Amino acid sequence: MAGPEPVIPARDAPMGRDVRLKGVHGTVGLPIPGTPPLLEVQKLVKRYDRGVVAVDDVSFQIAAGESLGLVGESGSGKSTISRLVCRLIDASEGQILFDGQSIGDQPSRSFHASPVRKDIQIVFQDPTESLNPRFSAFECVAHPLRRLLNMKDGAALTARVRECATRTGLPLDLLERFPHQLSGGQKARVGIARAIACRPRLLILDEPTAALDVSVQAIILQLLDGLRRQDGLSLLFVSHDLNVVRMMCERIVVLRLGRIVEIGSNDTIFREAQDPYTRALIDAVLNISDPRQN
């Protein structure tokens, strides 16, 4: 979906196309030699029924504190990889290691009992679909705390939910509302508050702003970048939009038909991409950014 170039507004700056958040492309998260990556995916394959190979021999790593972008056209396997990594679905082949420990062998239906379940959280593309319509915003955020951290109802649980709401800019008086009583941007904040509630180490963002208006997109991207920096989170940031990934990530994986066609640092991909498919994605971004090139 083509749209105007999203921007991340500086906190006190007025919205504008050329306003950028300084430091997004820092060296945060580059692997420290000798330390294992936080996430390592090796030769991952996912075959669905009727011979659909959605993910085909995919390998990549994410260091602690690093933000890795996953881009590709619709159907290239981005969501399937996201679901495999957070263990909502089982791989057909390959390994997933988290903090050096294999998590890919454990069946997805029992992964909720794994001690690392709380460390890997996901924000889904469509906040409306991913929030339980029968849960208030408070309940949406409290649910993983009860289930994964075994927190009981009481002052500590309430304080944690309120802290997450505050960190994601959700007014506290909205916590009693149900999803249908919230705007798209407010629902997105609930989805992010829920994902950070257990203080994960890896946050998977599957097109977290695709359903949002451009101005709200920019605010949510700013929010995510701030959370990441404050908490030293690692991100797997999925988007079909290379511009968004360029702003949010240090390295980029380009996927096509379930396979990696290119992987490299943000700057390298934009300057030196070899693959014609990657070049086409970049050219599309540049043409959208600068209408004079059209």
Ligand X SMILES: Nc1ncnc2c1ncn2[C@@H]1O[C@H](COP(=O)(O)OP(=O)(O)OP(=O)(O)O)[C@@H](O)[C@H]1O
Residues that bind ligand X (CB under 6 A): 48-49, 52, 54, 72, 74-80, 240
Look at the block and give the residue holding tokens 């970049």. Answer: 282
Q: How far is the CB of 168 from Mg ion (least distance, A)?
A: 23
**Residue number with CB closer to Mg ion (123 or 142):** 123
Residue 161 to residue 196: CA distance in whole angstroms: 10
**Residue number with CB closer to Mg ion (41 or 198):** 41
Among residues 243, 143, 224, 130, which one has the least CA distance to residue 182?
Answer: 130
Radius of gyration of the chain from its Cα atoms, rounded to whole angstroms: 19
Residue 117 interacting partner from ligand X, Mg ion, none (CB closer than 5 to 8 Å by kind): none
Residue 185 interacting partner from ligand X, Mg ion, none (CB closer than 5 to 8 Å by kind): none
Residues of this chain that interact with Mg ion (CB under 5 A) are: 78-79
Residue 80 interacting partner from ligand X, Mg ion, none (CB closer than 5 to 8 Å by kind): ligand X
Residue 72 interacting partner from Mg ion, ligand X, none (CB closer than 5 to 8 Å by kind): ligand X
Report in angstroms the alpha-carbon separations of 196 from 116, 160, 203, 243.
14, 10, 8, 25
**Residue number with CB closer to ligand X (78 or 187):** 78
**Residue number with CB closer to ligand X (74 or 150):** 74
Q: CB–CB of 10/22 below 8 Å? A: yes
Residue 239 to residue 208: CA distance in whole angstroms: 8
**Residue number with CB closer to Mg ion (141 or 212):** 212
Q: How far is the CB of 272 from Mg ion (least distance, A)?
A: 27
List, in sequence order, every beta strand (DSSP E) within 125-225.
202-206
Q: How far is the CB of 123 from Mg ion (least distance, A)?
A: 13
Q: Roughly how many angstroms between the first and final C-alpha of the chain, as a whole number? A: 17
Residue 240 interacting partner from ligand X, Mg ion, none (CB closer than 5 to 8 Å by kind): ligand X
Q: Cα–Cα–Cα angle for 38, 149, 224, nearest 5°?
A: 50
Q: How far is the CB of 76 from ligand X (least distance, A)?
A: 4
Q: How far is the CB of 274 from Mg ion (least distance, A)?
A: 25
Burial class (CB in 10 A: 0-12, 13-18, 19+), 32: exposed
